[in-house]
A and B are shown apart, each in its own frame.
Chain A
Amino acid sequence: MASWWQRLKGGLQRSSQALTQNVSAIFTKRKLDDEALEELEDALIQADLGVDMAQKVAARLKKDRFGKDVGDVEVKEALAGYIAETLAPVAEPLVPEAGAKPYVVLVAGVNGTGKTTTIGKLAAAWAGEGRRVGIAACDTFRAAAVEQLEIWADRAGARFFKAATGADAAGLAYDALASAKREGLDVLLIDTAGRLHNKSALMDELRKIDRVLAKQDQAAPHASLLVLDATTGQNAHRQVELFREAIDVTGLVVTKLDGSARGGVVVALADAFGLPVHAVGVGEGIEDLRPFEAEGFARALLDLEPA
């Protein structure tokens, strides 16, 4: 656990600094009054928790400690505790079921969130565990998306299914699943083109991919992941809502947590939707995908040492 924390903290360190500095500046040791609470709420808003979630967290602190003299670390500990409580129920690693052959994972999200990179990392991790992994390049729209994914597939040592640019994505998904079954693969990862959630025609296309998979195997896709960019603000809520309307999203992956964005949106999403957060992306390397762990995440976010 400690090593997991260290690796995550490495990625999160700089991003958590600003939040931590804000909180530290407020509470060196003073009375927790309304003004202090408001400043605290502001710090949480700046971490992208959103107004509602920041108010909720601040309200809990008020209930527990109002009027008391509180110190910096104490406040951080309390905050990390609340945040970890919200996150604990959603911290669920994605483990492919051994029974499903293959275990089909559909990966969706808006443009540029990091779907392809995430698939490369997932494939490498699962191949490393001795599973036979296949990848279907169903982003037949974006220029060179197939080539990009093929390089990742090579690195991970995964079987690669592709079609020409402009080919029917659902058709490829269908064929890839048939081949994966025939070849007895353990996992099949399906990359899809990035799409804005408010474009109904593109969302219909995603529904179609989802549907044709179920035609061959009623349980497929076994997991449908939505990849979210940690730099995204409150629009993340709309993304989750609308992707869920199109496909049965079973979990989230949050990327780019190694940047200056603080990923506070994860807390608000956990509170609002309760969808499992399977993993976080903390770099461009093939090993830079970490399981999401509630307490570690909350503590690292506040720059606290592991419990």
Chain B
Amino acid sequence: MFENLSNRLNEVFDRLKRRGALAEGDVDAAMRDVRVALLEADVALPVVKDFVKTIKERAVGQEVIKSVTPGQMVVKIVHDGLKELLGGEAVDLAKATNPPLVILMAGLQGSGKTTTTGKLAKRFQDKERKKVLVASLDTRRPAAQQQLEVLAGQVGCASLPIVEGQDALAITDRAMKTARGEGYDVVILDTAGRLSIDEELMAEVAAVKDKAQPQESLLVADAMTGQDAVKTAEAFDQRLDVTGIVLTRMDGDARGGAALSMRHVTGKPIKLVGTGEKSDALEPFHPERVASRILGMGDVVSLVEKAQENVDEEEAEKLARKMQKGSFSLDDYKKQIQQIKKMGGMKGLMGMMPGVKKIQKQMNEANMDERILVRQAAIIDSMTPKERRNIKLLGASMMKRMKKMGKRGMPPGGQIPPELMPR
């Protein structure tokens, strides 16, 4: 993967001694790196080209403020540009002022429409105390309708009863009648996944839209999408005139360049992001964070959130006290290993820290193998409690036990690693 862009740009400008305004030649060199960074982050090529052109115009001739390097200056210009393009501030969903509020969910297969439908229903219900009805129009994927029914049960909203043999339009009809007749505030129509080039199915979803007249037509897209983001977004927007985009799986480690591509080609706001498997893992979109993420500039906010999620504070304090007293045992060491692992491993953690990428390069060169931690934990597991407290007791029976644990427990060469050996 591409290393930290700001480091790269600093390197480009480090070679230049002179200060003052950014010259065209220097900026050109920097823009080549920006281009590659954006492409590695899956921003679509036409979008990258437009963006780089705009940024270049902005950067050339800019006075470099005294306190920063020219590289930092360019990074700031790029970062600001990304933020701007992603949409300055969060745009909320339409309000259910004139009920029912109708929301249409559309997108490719497997983008996360049904899961998002469940999360949206929960949000309206819990946060705004609305009466919500969900309806699955997916008559194609096996058990898709049941899936939404189960999700509705989990979040506690109503789901339109399943009638075998009805097509998407008939279900839409029934959903709208039920919503109006029974006084629902919000009705969410979950459509089948479809390819943007499938003429017949694209026409179907357009017909559903005609019938339901939704206030919100949301395109649900996977944050891991590559260059195809442009075509998918264009095709759905053309047919449905979407009102917003929901980006799912933002809790993955994709840079999320698709956000930029889709926003740029449709001009429609990204309204929500999916951030987990739980039914409340649906959040407003933060352009700032995604801009940093696309540039690989580290995401301190996410790091802090991750730490809060995984680190048991009491436990951490206990360990700290032990360390001070010098009674830190192998058991304690193992707890530390597990905590690091929960937070995404050493590499994952370091990747989120701004500026650490530079050290990471050296660490990679030093051949740090993260599996060492896994192995060490396994070895500690195979010791008796007595051995863990007093490692000098380790002997032949320990080796036998390690062998029993198989390949993961067995250190390379059949040796107990020196870092665990008694000193």
Residues 86-111 of A contacting B (Cβ, < 8 Å): 110-111
Residues 107-148 of A contacting B (Cβ, < 8 Å): 110-114, 141-145, 147-148
Q: Is the CB of A110 within 8 A of B224?
A: yes
Counting residue pairs across A and B whose Cβ atoms lie within 8 Å, the total is 151
Beyond A47-B227, A259-B228, whether A200 also contacts B345 by CB under 8 A is yes
A48 to B, closest residue via Cβ: B226
Q: Does B258 interact with chain A (Cβ within 8 Å)?
A: yes
Shortest CB distance B103–A (Å): 20
Q: Does A240 interact with chain B (Cβ within 8 Å)?
A: no
Beyond A256-B109, A260-B195, whether A235 also contacts B254 by CB under 8 A is yes
Task: Give the CA-CA distance A111 to B1 in the complex, in Å.
Answer: 22
By a CB distance below 8 angstroms, the chain A residues around B231 are 18, 260
Main secondary structure of the interface of B (DSSP, over half): loop
Contact of A112 among B39, B109, B140 (CB under 8 A): B109
Shortest CB distance B305–A (Å): 14
Hey, what's the 0/1 contact readout for A232-259 against B, CB within 8 Å counting as 1? 1111111000000100000000001011
Task: Give the CA-CA distance A114 to B143 in the complex, in Å.
Answer: 14
Q: Is the CB of A46 within 8 A of B342?
A: no
Q: Is the CB of B253 within 8 A of A231?
A: no
By a CB distance below 8 angstroms, the chain A residues around B253 are 196-198, 235, 238
Hey, what's the 0/1 contact readout for B75-119 against A, CB within 8 Å counting as 1? 000000000000000000000000000000000111110000000
By a CB distance below 8 angstroms, the chain B residues around A231 are 108, 222, 225-226, 228, 232
B193 to A, closest residue via Cβ: A112
Task: Give the CA-CA distance A143 to B406 in the complex, in Å.
Answer: 35
Contact of B1 among A112, A198, A237 (CB under 8 A): A237
A256 to B, closest residue via Cβ: B109
By a CB distance below 8 angstroms, the chain B residues around A303 are none
By a CB distance below 8 angstroms, the chain A residues around B249 are 110-111, 196
Shortest CB distance A243–B (Å): 13
| Segment at the interface with A among B9-17, B144-152, B311-319, B320-328 | B144-152
Residues 139-165 of A contacting B (Cβ, < 8 Å): 141-145, 147-148, 150-152, 165
Q: Does A25 interact with chain B (Cβ within 8 Å)?
A: no
Shortest CB distance B287–A (Å): 20
Q: Does B141 interact with chain A (Cβ within 8 Å)?
A: yes
Shortest CB distance A202–B (Å): 9
| Segment at the interface with A among B40-48, B53-61, B382-390 | B40-48
How many chain A residues sit at the interface, stated as a range, is 35 or more
Q: Does B417 interact with chain A (Cβ within 8 Å)?
A: no
Contact of B225 among A18, A197, A233, A245 (CB under 8 A): A233
Residues 124-168 of B contacting A (Cβ, < 8 Å): 140-144, 146-151, 154
Q: Is the CB of A112 within 8 A of B150?
A: no
Q: Is the CB of A148 within 8 A of B144?
A: yes
Q: Is the CB of A235 within 8 A of B224?
A: yes
Q: Is the CB of B143 within 8 A of A112?
A: no
By a CB distance below 8 angstroms, the chain A residues around B342 are 200-201
Q: Is the CB of A113 within 8 A of B254?
A: no
Q: Does A262 interact with chain B (Cβ within 8 Å)?
A: yes
Task: Give the CA-CA distance A259 to B108 in the complex, in Å.
Answer: 9
By a CB distance below 8 angstroms, the chain A residues around B355 are none
Q: Is the CB of B228 within 8 A of A112?
A: no
Contact of A198 among B110, B144, B154, B252 (CB under 8 A): B252
By a CB distance below 8 angstroms, the chain B residues around A165 are 150
Q: Is the CB of A14 within 8 A of B225?
A: no
By a CB distance below 8 angstroms, the chain B residues around A201 are 342
Given A111-B112, A233-B224, A235-B42, 17 extra CB contacts under 8 A: A45-B45, A47-B227, A50-B39, A143-B147, A144-B146, A200-B341, A200-B344, A214-B406, A229-B110, A231-B226, A232-B224, A233-B258, A235-B253, A256-B110, A259-B195, A260-B228, A260-B235
B residues within 8 Å of A by Cβ?
Answer: 1, 36, 39-42, 44-45, 108-112, 140-144, 146-151, 154, 195-197, 222, 224-229, 231-232, 235, 249, 251-255, 257-258, 277, 341-345, 348, 371, 406
